[in-house]
Amino acid sequence: MATIVTGEGGNAVKGVIFNIQTFSTEDGPGLRTTAFFKGCPLRCAWCHNPEGLSPKPQLIWHAARCIGCGECLLSCPNSALTRRPEGVVIDRRKCRACGTCAGVCPAAALEVVGRVISADWLAAELARDVEFYRSSGGGVTFSGGECLAQPEFYLATAGLLRAAGIHVALDTSGFAPSPVFDRAVEACDLVLFDLKLIDPDRHRRATGVDNRLILENARRLAASGRPFWVRFPVIPGYTDDDENVRAVSEFISREMPGAERVDFLAYNNLCESDYQRLDMPYPLAGRGLLSRADMDRVLAVAREAGLDPVPGGALAVDASGGGRPPSAADDRKLNGGTLQ
Ligand code: SF4
Ligand code: SF4
């Protein structure tokens, strides 16, 4: 069993996470537990973790579980809930995500996504599966949202885990001030770095932010000596055209030649119901999955540019039998509240 030494009074740094996913095989080597931090400065049109966008806990309502008893409406101290023909409606201007309504709901139809926790608590929780990490060559991955939007929380938790001999990976968009980024790289064993678009205007339109900082941090990572993987999301209509695939591939070949691995991750639309539960429009509504032929074209362009990409993600099932089901990982969803 790993020992997490937190010192007198423990580590008081706190942060917000929305999920802990155990037995993950896609967030780094071996068997891993992935902690998802809440809050992200990017707004990628294809984001598959919309719960990770806001830095605050949020209330969601599960229509399929609701039995229409109305208990929740009476319990809310802020009168944030109403019942309409379509079901329970949350007034998000009034809701404080206090969880009172979720506490009285007899059907578990209301849930606060996101929880304020301490670095101590998180490190101890993540260390629970240390025997699996050791036997499989795995460890812990920090993902999001964007971990570097909560840098002190990430640094404190990663430090505790590494002091206990646990391998730590950081999954990041690279969008953070370079001094913060450098410290974050130093604090882990492996970086999973996302690269999406090279053209700055297209990057801004698709993600809401400029990519200058991201490309600068990509170069800093390459020069750091820290092991890293690059991950490229292959999104139909956004990143999958030949011009961008070539530009991303050439950037990696030229500027990040030390990448241990380059994953080309096909778009999936499994998150659409998560957007609905958060009352957010899904920007890619109705968009189909990538076809096998499109993925083959993308991989061929990357190979021409000198990469050896590893394909992953979901493909539309076609005559050639393409397609891969998403991994069935065990999620410990984190309901609202504060753990010290
Ligand atoms: S989480 Fe709290 S504030 Fe929000 S609707 Fe429920 S009881 Fe009201
Ligand atoms: S308390 Fe739960 S089951 Fe009852 S109306 Fe509210 S959400 Fe539905």
* Domain spans, the chain: 14-53+115-333, 58-113
Mode of pairing for the β-strands spanning 32-37 and 228-234: unpaired
Q: CB of 113 closer than 6 A to ligand 1?
A: no
For ligand 1, pick from 100, 110, 115 the residue to mutate: most ligand atoms within 8 Å of CB.
Answer: 100
Q: What is the pLDDT of residues 63-119, one digit of tens each?
A: 999 999 999 999 999 999 999 998 999 999 999 999 999 999 999 999 999 999 999
Which amino acid is present at 140?
V
Mean pLDDT over 157-186 rounds to: 98
Q: Distance, CA 110 to ligand 1 centroid (Å)? A: 9
Give the number of whichever ligand sits closest to the CA of residue 77: 1
What is the per-residue DSSP string for 59-122? EEE-TTT-----HHHHH-TT--EEEETTEEEE-TTT-----HHHHH-TT--EEEE-EEEEHHHH
Q: What is the pTM of this model?
A: 0.89
Q: CB of 96 closer than 6 A to ligand 1?
A: yes
Return the SS3 of 221: helix
pLDDT value at residue 5: 58
Cα Rg of the chain, angstroms: 21
How sure is the predictor about 323, in pLDDT bands with cuts at 50, 70 and 90? very low
Distance CA 215, CA 221 (A): 10
Mean pLDDT over 289-316 rounds to: 90
Q: Whose CA is nearest to atom 1 of ligand 1?
A: 97
pLDDT value at residue 3: 64
User: Does this chain's domain 14-53+115-333 share its CATH topology with 58-113?
Assistant: no
Q: Distance, CA 274 to ligand 2 centroid (Å)? A: 19
Q: CB of 88 closer than 6 A to ligand 2?
A: yes
Q: Whose CA is nearest to atom 2 of ligand 2?
A: 105
Atom of ligand 1 nearest to the CA of 102: 6
Q: Distance, CA 153 to ligand 2 centroid (Å)? A: 35
pLDDT value at residue 320: 43
Q: Distance, CA 12 to ligand 1 centroid (Å)? A: 27
Alpha helices in 91-197 (DSSP H): 100-104, 119-126, 130-136, 151-163, 178-186
Distance CA 95, CA 93 (A): 6
Q: Distance, CA 76 to ligand 1 centroid (Å)? A: 5
pLDDT value at residue 10: 58
- From 94, 232, 243, 92, select the one nearest 173 (Cα to Cα): 232
User: In 3-state terms, the chain is what percent helix, strand and coil (to 5)?
Assistant: 30, 25, 45
Give the number of whichever ligand sits closest to the CA of residue 108: 2
Q: CB of 87 closer than 6 A to ligand 2?
A: no
Give the number of whichever ligand sits closest to the CA of residue 105: 2
Q: What residues form DSSP beta bridges with 315?
A: 290
Q: Distance, CA 95 to ligand 1 centroid (Å)? A: 5
Answer whether 270's CB lies under 8 Å from 48's CB: yes
- From 138, 105, 100, 137, select the one nearest 24 (Cα to Cα): 138
* Residue 332 pLDDT exceeds 80: no
Return the SS3 of 51: helix
* Residue 11 pLDDT exceeds 90: no
CATH topology for 58-113 is Alpha-Beta Plaits (3.30.70)
Which residues lie below 8 Å from residue 93, measured CB to CB, with a gap of 6+? Answer: none
How sure is the predictor about 324, in pLDDT bands with cuts at 50, 70 and 90? very low
Cis before residue 145, ω within 30 degrees of 0?
Answer: yes
How sure is the predictor about 313, in pLDDT bands with cuts at 50, 70 and 90? confident
Answer whether 202's CB lies under 8 Å from 176's CB: no
Mean pLDDT over 170-193 rounds to: 98
- From 328, 302, 298, select the one nearest 315 (Cα to Cα): 298
Q: Tell me which CATH homologous superfamily contains domain 14-53+115-333.
A: Aldolase class I (3.20.20.70)
CA 132 to chain centre: 22
Q: Distance, CA 102 to ligand 2 centroid (Å)? A: 8
Q: Whose CA is nearest to atom 1 of ligand 2?
A: 105
